[in-house]
Every structure is written in structure tokens, then in C-alpha cells.
Amino acid sequence: MVFRASGLALLVLLLAACGSLNSEPRIVSTLPARDLGVASPHLPASSTSDGARLFRERCSPCHGDGGRGDGPLVRASQIAAPPDFTQPATMTVRTLQEIFDVITNGRIEKMMPPWGGALSEAERWTVVEFVAGLGGGAAATPRMNAP
């Protein structure tokens, strides 16, 4: 009976220690938003800063503050590194619509959650514009579902 009680106590202790793995990490610092130098033809000028803010709040745990794929979850080896958005080779193969679709629907097989239910369509487009600006921009194709 003593063995069973100590085993139960050990199990409770292990579960308590692992409880923090399910929560989002606390972000201690963030980089200032990059000024893209030109206003987006798709969005009001204020939306670029909105996109940077949303990216820091929602995307940086995985993608990192600067979009390099080096966020706290990657550094803690909890997920594989996502693409580096600052590399032109990563961004030139994606259209704005494809980036929007990935943000909206996610890529569960790559641990990318869908944000369609958490962010409005306009918010997702601001994130698209910000992400496209990190690596020199995505292919300039028109949006299919522009707000």
C-alpha cells in the first residue's frame, strides 16, 4: 500500500511539473516593428503596425519576433523550426493569397494552428502584409477575398 501511495504521489508531482508545458511561453521582449518604407496598396497605412502587433502577439512564440523561425517554442525544442520569413527564397514562392490561406486554415501537420476563428479577416490580411514585408515581399498577386 505504501508503494502505491508513493507511486501516486510521484505521478501527481510529475503531472504538476509538466502542467506548464501546455501553456504559452511568456515573451520577455520584442523587437520594434520594421518600417517597410512604403505603404501597402491593399491596406490603410495604420494596418502595417497592426500587422506587426498581431504578429508579435500571436505568431512570435513559434516564428520569433523578427519572423526568422526562432521563437521560444523552437528554442525550447517543443516544435520544429518554421520557415524563415526574412529569406527571399522562402517568400518568393508564396502569393499573398497563399499566406492568407495558411494563416486562416493553419497547417496542423506542421504545428501551425488555424487563426480563422481567432482573428478577423481584416486582421489576418494585416498579418499577411507584415509577413510578406519581412522577406522582401510575396509575389504581388491580387487577393481573392480582400475585405
Domain 2-134, CATH class in plain words: mainly alpha
The SS3 assignment for 112 reads: strand
62-73 residue pLDDT tens: 999 899 999 999
Would the pTM count as exceeding 0.75? no
Q: In the chain, what are the domain boundaries?
A: 2-134
* CA 6 centroid distance within chain: 42
Tell me the CA distances in angstroms from 31 to 35, 57, 69, 78, 129, one per residue in order. 12, 12, 14, 22, 18
56-112 residue pLDDT tens: 999 999 999 899 999 999 999 999 999 899 888 777 667 899 999 999 999 989 889
DSSP string, 63-94: H-TTSSS--HHHHTTSS-----TTSHHHHTT-
